[in-house]
Amino acid sequence: MDIENSEYCFVTWVTHNSRISQRMEQFLPSNYIKKLSPVILNMEDQLLIAKLIAESCSLYKLSTITFNILPDHVHGLFRVESEEELILKIGRIKGYTAHTFRKEKKLKSRLWARKFNRDWIVDDDHLNSVINYIDLNHLKHEKSWGREFLCGFHSELRNIVRSVSTPII
């Protein structure tokens, strides 16, 4: 990777059926939407997903600054050379984690929603703000999810993240 020409990108993806899109509301009957069963990751699942993301970032050579796993979504900060590289590598990571997780947990449904959101970093203040947001995101969601879903493993998660983190240049 040519570090000089790379850019940082803040990426978020969500678990399957954890968000209702405008498109779903527009085209699906409301009684069908009410029956959707979202994938919610417990602490054990979150740690497994963290390990799988770390493995896949190494496997697919995705320069990883930080990431965080929550019960219904993932945040990550990555360095890539292009939009095309980002799309390819996030797709591979989602595919690898989904395949391995579903196999290990004997999950029949999808793990991830199809799309992901991205926000390109524009300056150092934005970069620092995103790093803090990702690293502290579990605290933001503590009230809605409860401690049992979020805080008991944070130091173990941070160790997994550090194992694949690359320095900021």
Confidence of residue 162 (pLDDT cuts 50, 70, 90): confident
pLDDT digits 0-9 by tens, 84-104: 999 999 999 999 999 999 999
Architecture of domain 3-164: 2-Layer Sandwich (3.30)
Contact between 24 and 105 (Cβ < 8 Å): no
The 8 Å CB, 24+ separation contacts for 125-128 are: 127/8, 127/77, 127/168
**In sequence order, what E strands does the chain have?**
7-14, 63-69, 73-80, 117-120
* 30 vs 154: which has the higher pLDDT: 154
Asked if residue 69 has pLDDT above 60, the reply is yes
- What angle in degrees, to the nearest 10, is found between the helix axes of 43-59 and 154-164? 0
Asked if residue 132 has pLDDT above 70, the reply is yes
Coil vs helix vs strand at 68? strand
Confidence of residue 55 (pLDDT cuts 50, 70, 90): very high
Q: 116 — phi, psi (to 5°)? A: -145, 155
Confidence of residue 135 (pLDDT cuts 50, 70, 90): confident
